[in-house]
Amino acid sequence: MSLLDVTTEGTQDLELLNEGDEVQVRIVNAEQVPVKSRPGANQLSVRFDVPSNPLVDDIYGFVSLPNEAMRESDLKAYSKAVKRYQDFCKCFHCKDATDSDDFKGMTGDVIVGIKDDEYGRKNTIKQYVVGA
């Protein structure tokens, strides 16, 4: 197959959700990665899709993994990280997850935001919906 054989007809542009939309997302993959700005700290790097609309561009996010060093150095940042991690776990019902691979396929409802960066406009996770 040559480059001349590649067709782009019939393709559709990827979509963005509106700021503040509540939508169900699915975890495509999650990986534990180091936090570049905080040596010794880790976070989950998570890629989400929207099962109800395959044309919505993937949403990427990070969830800090609180640790003792964070608590000792910055209690406020630690408390925020704990709350965000708890909300993530409640949203995706991930109490049985023991490894980052266990998150794959889990679904939950989120409130999305929009941000602009050097790569253009993209959706973000503004809030995890956790029920009352």
Does residue 4 form part of some domain?
no
Q: Give the model confidence (pLDDT) of 14-67 as tens digits.
A: 999 999 999 999 999 999 999 888 777 889 999 999 999 999 999 999 998 888
Could you tell me the CATH number of the domain that includes residue 97? Answer: 2.40.50
Residue 13, pLDDT > 80, answer yes
Does residue 5 form part of some domain?
no
As a three-state string, the secondary structure of 56-97 is ECCEEEEEEECCHHHHHHCHHHHHHHHHHHHHHHHHHCCCCC
Tokens of 131: 């029920």
Domain count, the chain: 1
Residue 12, pLDDT > 90, answer no
Does residue 59 form part of some domain?
yes
Parent domain of 96: 14-128
Does residue 26 form part of some domain?
yes
Does residue 8 form part of some domain?
no
Does residue 9 form part of some domain?
no
Does residue 3 form part of some domain?
no
Q: Give the model confidence (pLDDT) of 82-116 as tens digits.
A: 999 999 999 999 876 778 888 999 999 999 999 99
> Best-predicted range by mean pLDDT among 4-8, 13-17, 65-69?
13-17
The phi and psi torsions of 15 (rounded to 5 degrees) equal -105, 155
Please give the residue that has the higher pLDDT: either 132 or 49.
49
Tokens 């939508």: give the residue.
23
Does residue 65 form part of some domain?
yes
